[in-house]
Structure 1
Amino acid sequence: MHDQHSAAELPHLRRQKILLILERDGKVMASELSQHFAVSEDTIRRDLAELASAGLVQRVHGGALPRPKDTGKDYFTRISETDEVKMQLAQLAAQRVQDGQIVVFDSGTTTLQIARSLPVDIAITAITASPMTAITLSEYKGIKVILAGGQLNPATMSASGHETLRLLAGIKADLLFTGVCAIHPQVGLSSLHFEEVPVKQAMLDCASHVIAVTTADKLGAVEPFVVAPCNRVHTLITEQHVASGNVEDYRALGVEVVQWVG
């Protein structure tokens, strides 16, 4: 009771503890925090509003989620940087591709790395809306590349719009490597870019098996635009050590979780 009383009297201390609970659980609810700290829900809502204003949390109905991590780097800066973890995850993902498959590659630097990690003698049909990924895939003699057209988004270097959606609607793919901006057990896959949402949804609809490959910092995070619930993902490939939330939350939703042991 002493801790609860101290937290109730010192708002800054209570807010620090809220952040610790958020880091541990991946989500906080105002009703639960009210009971935990023995203060009113209005008080907790003010705490969450202050934390959100400081850019430390993202408000959602009834509580808050971790703030998505934005590196502030553009696409070409990100692909030029060597990330050992991302390379290892991409190699794990590339092992899932089999000869004769039709494979959809979403946009994103991780998905581009998967394309770079395929076996040199692989023979597949690849579909992508990312020109950079298409160029990489075209270097393989056994890969037939189909590039979806549309308006190019400079932020993601990927096409979107009616032309992109029309092409994807006519495809029945074996496998999709979906790009991950953020993934949360309750919220699902979400994106920073509104125009990406219908393209990502169309990709999910056209593939028999969906693989999401992501570094641990995107687990438990949420971006403004929701794409789909987590159960649309069949396999999640990520790091062994996860700071935010618990990979068991994804397994409980029926997602196969594969963790790279570095």
Structure 2
Amino acid sequence: MLTSERKALIQQILQRDGRVVAKALSQAWGVSEDTIRRDLRELASDGVLQRVHGGALPASPAIADFAQRERTGSAAKANLGRLGAGLIRPGQIVFLDGGTTHVHLARQLPRDLKATVVTHSPSIAVELAHHPTVDVEIVGGRLFKHSVVAMGSASAEAIARIRVDAYFMGVTGLHPDTGATTGDHEEAALKRLIARQAAETIVLATREKLGAASAYGILPLAGIATLVAEAGRDDDRLVPFRAAGLSIVTA
């Protein structure tokens, strides 16, 4: 089998099964595991997959910069934002992570909602500047331009002093094996800190994030209470998340 044929089959298996196992492929195709691992390395360098111990998972395409993500999937993100906004109750203190989907959530908060939003996202703070009854607390720090959020030690110190009812966490991938992941290790660490300060963590996930993985783990599925997903209620992709005990809300 040619290298190009193996790579094409690997991508087909990833799409069908949501994972590939190097040992199983080497046995099925009669090639060495080193050959399969080389194929996986090359596909990973092309951004096709995310390597994990023993094989690979689909790579998340949701790692583009903020400006590019603003231009894609706005209708789906608006639907997710509407459902997410409906999960916030009067009087709650919630943390809104950065991200284009959460901008839609902020935009669709009811005009009579009395609540407090904590955020390290300038975009979300600006979106809520004219909301009549939502108080906004801004966490400062060094601007991480890729996600347009504040990060660094100053951010971590401020967040460690805050307790919130719910954390709406941004992710680039959500996979049954790896849980919630993102593409930057410092951002992953800050997200873990925010989740520890929250009574519950909620994830809004567009279609391409389900079953995908990025390089840096944030939380296992057990650390997430609710998934708001761009998928039909009977979508097979939701089965492992439901089995893990997540509450599922579908757009």
Assess same fold via TM > 0.5: yes
Aligned twin of 1:257: 248
Aligned twin of 1:181: 172
Pairing of 1:1-262 with structure 2 (within 5 A): 9-70=1-62, 72=64, 74-79=65-70, 83-240=74-231, 246-260=237-251
What TM-score comes out, normalization by structure 1 length? 0.87
Distance 1:80 1:49, change over 3 A: closer
SS at match of 1:173: coil
Distance 1:248 1:147, change over 3 A: same
Mark the structure with the bigger radius of gyration: 1
SS at match of 1:208: coil
Q: Which amino acid aligns with 2:187?
A: E
Distance 1:53 1:126, change over 3 A: closer
Per-residue deviation at 1:151? 0.9
Superposed CA deviations along residues 219-252 of structure 1, whole A, max 9, x for unmatched, are 222222222212211111111259x982211122
What TM-score comes out, normalization by structure 2 length? 0.90
Distance 1:69 1:80, change over 3 A: closer
Per-residue deviation at 1:88? 0.7
Q: Which amino acid aligns with 1:201?
A: R
Counterpart CA distance in 1 for 2:45 and 2:126 is 42
Q: Aligned pair count?
A: 250
Aligned twin of 1:6: none
Per-residue deviation at 1:142? 1.1
SS at match of 2:128: helix
Per-residue deviation at 1:11? 4.2
Per-residue deviation at 1:105? 0.5
Q: Which amino acid aligns with 1:13?
A: E
Superposed CA deviations along residues 48-79 of structure 1, whole A, max 9, x for unmatched, are 2343344432222211111221574x424543
Distance 1:172 1:184, change over 3 A: same
Taking only aligned residues, the RMSD between alpha carbons, in angstroms, comes to 2.3
Q: Identity of aligned pairs, percent?
A: 38
SS at match of 2:80: helix
Counterpart CA distance in 2 for 1:28 and 1:184 is 13
For structure 2, list consecutive stretches of 5 or more residues without a partner in the other structure: none
For structure 1, list consecutive stretches of 5 or more residues without a partner in the other structure: 1-8
Q: Which amino acid aligns with 2:143?
A: L
